[in-house]
Amino acid sequence: MRNGFEIDDIDRAIISALRQNGRATNQQIAEGLSLTAATVSSRIRRMEAANKLRVVAVSDFRAHGYNVLLEVAIEVDNRPATDVAEELAELPEVFAAHLTTGRYDIDLLVVLQSIDELPDLLMNKFGRIKGIRSMIPAIAVDVVKYQFDVAPIEARED
């Protein structure tokens, strides 16, 4: 239990219903789970307030003109990896940035509209960031699985 809040089986069932249809109304979810719409609504609000749930729309990379997906492993030297990762995360091409253990310090998920953008990204944008010792880009040739229904939820700025 974290922050005095624990998700129970009813909450999990509501989340499951939302995963199947994020546009379902509270009434539709309630009917499917033999609950009241008020119960569904209050539980969703409670999970959102505790940063355990956020209902969002997800669109395909290609819908935004991104046709290239790649992973870039980065080794950092003479600078904290956290600082380098935060600077990299500010670039619009960086979809996700992770601090990692092992041979490389940072792992990025990057999207590009065209493979022609890769040299500029690596040489000019990444190349200007101090502390990057080496980069190993790997182009995704196919996406076998990309599970997006579970993610870290950051606290909202109200």
Residues 14 and 81 in one domain: no
The answer as to whether 80 is a domain residue is yes
Q: Which domain holds residue 113?
A: 61-139
Q: 3-state secondary structure string, 97-133?
A: EEECCCCCCEEEEEEECCHHHHHHHHHHHHHHCCCEE
Task: Please list, in sequence order, all residues whose beta carbon lies within 8 angstroms of the beta carbon of residue 45, skipping any fewer than 6 positions away.
Answer: none
Residues 83 and 122 in one domain: yes
* Distance of alpha carbon 138 from alpha carbon 149, whole angstroms: 24
Phi first, then psi, for residue 46 (nearest 5°) are -65, -45
Task: Please list, in sequence order, all residues whose beta carbon lies within 8 angstroms of the beta carbon of residue 35, skipping any fewer than 6 positions away.
Answer: 10, 29
Residues 24 and 86 in one domain: no
The answer as to whether 13 is a domain residue is yes
The answer as to whether 105 is a domain residue is yes
| Per-residue model confidence as pLDDT tens digits over 83-92 | 999 999 999 9
- Total number of domains in the chain: 2
| Per-residue model confidence as pLDDT tens digits over 69-128 | 999 999 999 999 999 999 999 999 999 999 999 999 999 999 999 999 999 999 999 999
Q: What is the pTM of this model?
A: 0.70
